[in-house]
Amino acid sequence: MKDNEPIKTLSTERKPRSGSPGRQREIDTCTGAAGKISLDIAVLPGDGIGPEVIGATLAVLKKLEERWTKVCFAFREHAVGTAEYLRYGDPLSEEAFAACRQADAVLLGAMGLPSVRWPDGRELSPQLDLRERLDLYAGLRPIRLYHAQDTPLKRYGAGEIDLVIVRENCEGLFSARLSKSDPASGEVRDLLRITRRGAERVFRAAFELAGRRRKKCTLVDKANVLPSMVFFRSVFDDVAREYPEVEASRVYVDAMALYLLQKPHEFDVLVTENMFGDILSDLAAGLVGGMGMAPSADIGDDCAVFQPSHGTAPDIAGKGIANPIAAILSAAMMLEWLGHPELLDGATRIRHAVETVLSDPANRTPDTGGRLATQQMTEKIMECL
């Protein structure tokens, strides 16, 4: 994606806002906001490094906000995640959920810890509940290389890996995740669910996005083996006919794992099933410096959640060394989605600031071979806004 090209919105329609504040902490309101449009941002720091990277992101957004004359943010923080589960039995309270539904956008850190599980052994994953309940069907995961030193691949420089994975978020193999199973029976099944409606809407989102980029949209499937994927591909072919200006192609997921290592420059927008998208987006993040560099946005027709692609990284939580770039770039996606001209300018400033900071190989957090702390990296980005 070009630096200043918005990822753009599947829908820019604002919902009417009403709402009880619920169990929340007002961390910033639009003070001195006469005449400004106030945007309500639900902030969910969550677990592990979530609060660290969200703290960095809010600092960047507040710095940008100083420049704006027409819009401002009302940030409202909600407690979610494992601490809430351990205290109240629910990692995502109905109050927090309602606030997310009513907000103009949701900024999320990360949730879940390997040490805290449901009685059946699964990790808590309230971020998946949020996606499904808000019907955030398009998971956009941009993968962009900012500097040659951040990729393990030879011969790739800044901007030469630049693709977006569009992950179907609401069905696929994840649709079975809440089903009951009986391991004692000697057999457990997971259902891979594809519906025409679910496939059509995510394919349209992918083609729309490709139309604003390099006009190439690749389906990643397993249509050589699974009947669900044969159906998925047939829907893709139908939708592709609506977008003759976009070049459509199809690649099996195993081959795509190979091609992402061999020739990532050939791809623009990849669209795929939920589980394949989950796996390939981690692989693709590894091409550009790892999880700390990979932003994401989960977009529906009415709501959107912006969060780094990474999880809670318990191995580094609390050390002050998390890379904030994935979260800060996710906030840039939020500004684009919200769509006001001042916010679009803010998104461009964030991207340029990240690019400028990363152009100096000394400016790295430990995950990418450097020595900067989260706060130092954040300050460097803020200086370049």
In a 3-state reduction of DSSP, which class is residue 239?
helix
Question: Based on CB atoms, which residue is closest to ligand ATP, 198 or 292?
Answer: 292
When the beta carbons of 122 and 196 are compared against ligand ATP, the nearer one is 122
Q: Which residue, 96, 102, 86, 90, is CA-closest to 16?
A: 102
CB of 225 to ligand ATP, least distance (A): 26
- Block residue for tokens 């990240």: 354
| Count of CB atoms situated within 10 Å of the CB of 53 | 29
218 vs 309 by CB, closer to ligand ATP: 309
* 251 beta partners: 220
Among residues 9 and 376, whose Cβ is nearest to ligand ATP? Answer: 376
DSSP code at position 48: T
Closest CB to ligand ATP among residues 239, 313: 313
The residue ranges that bind ligand ATP (CB under 6 A) are 49, 53, 112, 290-292, 310-313, 315-316, 322-323, 326, 367
Parallel/antiparallel/unpaired status of strands 37-46 and 105-110: parallel
Residue 254 to residue 252: CA distance in whole angstroms: 6
| Smallest gap from residue 325 Cβ to ligand ATP (A) | 8
Q: In this complex, which beta carbon is closest to ligand ATP, that of residue 144 or of residue 310?
A: 310
How far is it, in rounded angstroms, from Cα 126 to Cα 106? 14
What's the closest the beta carbon of residue 129 comes to ligand ATP, in angstroms? Answer: 14
Distance CA 274, CA 269 (A): 15
Q: Let me know if 333 is exposed, middle or buried by CB neighbors in 10 A (0-12, 13-18, 19+).
A: buried
Q: 109 by DSSP, 3-state: which?
A: strand
- β strands within 231-324, DSSP E: 247-252, 269-272, 297-299, 304-306
Kindly tell me which of 175 and 228 has the beta carbon lying closer to ligand ATP: 175
Q: Tell me if 307 sits within 8 A of 330, measured CB to CB.
A: yes
Smallest gap, in angstroms, from Cβ of residue 75 to ligand ATP? 21
> Would you report the helix, strand and coil content of the chain in percent, each value rounded to 5?
40, 20, 40
Q: Which residue, 40 or 278, is less far from ligand ATP as judged by CB?
A: 278
Q: Could you tell me the smallest distance in angstroms from the CB atom of residue 311 to ligand ATP? A: 2
- Least separation in angstroms between residue 316's CB and ligand ATP is 5
Closest approach of ligand ATP to the CB of residue 118, in Å: 15
Side chain identity at 151, as an amino acid letter? T
Position of minimal CB gap to ligand ATP: 311
Q: Which residues contact 296 (CB under 8 A, 6 or more apart)?
A: 139, 140, 141, 142, 281, 306, 307, 308, 309, 326, 330, 333
Q: How far is the CB of 146 from ligand ATP (least distance, A)?
A: 15
